[in-house]
Amino acid sequence: MALISFRDKMRIPSYDNSDHCMMAEVSIDHDKCDRCGLCVKACLPKVIYMEGKGKDRKVLINRNRPTGGRETGEANCYCVACNDCMAICEQGAIKAVTSADYLYRYKQVLRGELTPPRTFND
């Protein structure tokens, strides 16, 4: 059994179709978040953004589809799973939920769960 069938191999996913391209996702724990804004600066595609000013400001995640914003004129945002936000957060408030996946030609295979570095010393 091939990892990717010939049919799938010949088919290029439509990048604007959310059934074909699943973007990576991160979550923010608002209790831990101290709203320093470092993650907002570190986020390349501007998926993480700050809303409001002063004490009421809140860090939010834009879940727009990569091309979904085109028609409405919104920014073209999607998570590339660089996880810079998670690494830069001093409060440990950001967690990766899922990593990116695609269908057909670019389907991810032989992949396991999101796992922190291990020493295998048990």
Partner 1 sequence: MSAMEEKELEKGAEPSVDDDWNPVEKVILERRSVRYYKPKQVPENLVRRILEAGRFAPSAGNYQPWRFIVIRDRDIIDAMERDIRMMCKMLKPILAWESSPLGPVAKLMSKTLTWFLPNKLHHEPYGAINAIADGEVGVFHGPPTLILLLMDKRGAGKPQVDLGCCGQNIVLTAHSHGLGTCWVGFVELLRQNPIWKKRLGIEYPYELCEGISLGYPVGKPDGMIAREAYHTRWFENGTMKVVV
Q: How far is the CB of 39 from partner 1 (least distance, A)?
A: 9
Nearer to partner 1, 33 or 99 (CB): 99
Nearer to partner 1, 60 or 106 (CB): 106
Q: Which residues bind partner 1 (CB under 8 A)?
A: 10, 12-13, 15-16, 21, 38, 41-42, 44-46, 66-67, 70, 75-78, 80, 82-84, 86-90, 92, 96, 99-100, 102, 105-106, 110-117, 119, 121
Q: Which of 77, 81, 87, 75 minimizes the C-alpha distance to 24?
A: 81
Q: Cα separation of 15 and 85, whole Å?
A: 24
Q: How far is the CB of 82 from partner 1 (least distance, A)?
A: 6
Residue with tokens 């831990």: 32
Helix (H, G, I), strand (E, B) or coil at 11: coil
Q: How far is the CB of 30 from partner 1 (least distance, A)?
A: 19
Nearer to partner 1, 59 or 77 (CB): 77
Q: Tell me the CA distances in angstroms from 23 to 1, 43, 95, one per residue in order.
A: 27, 15, 15
Distance of CA 90 to the CA centre of its chain: 19
**What single DSSP character describes residue 72?**
H
Nearer to partner 1, 32 or 105 (CB): 105
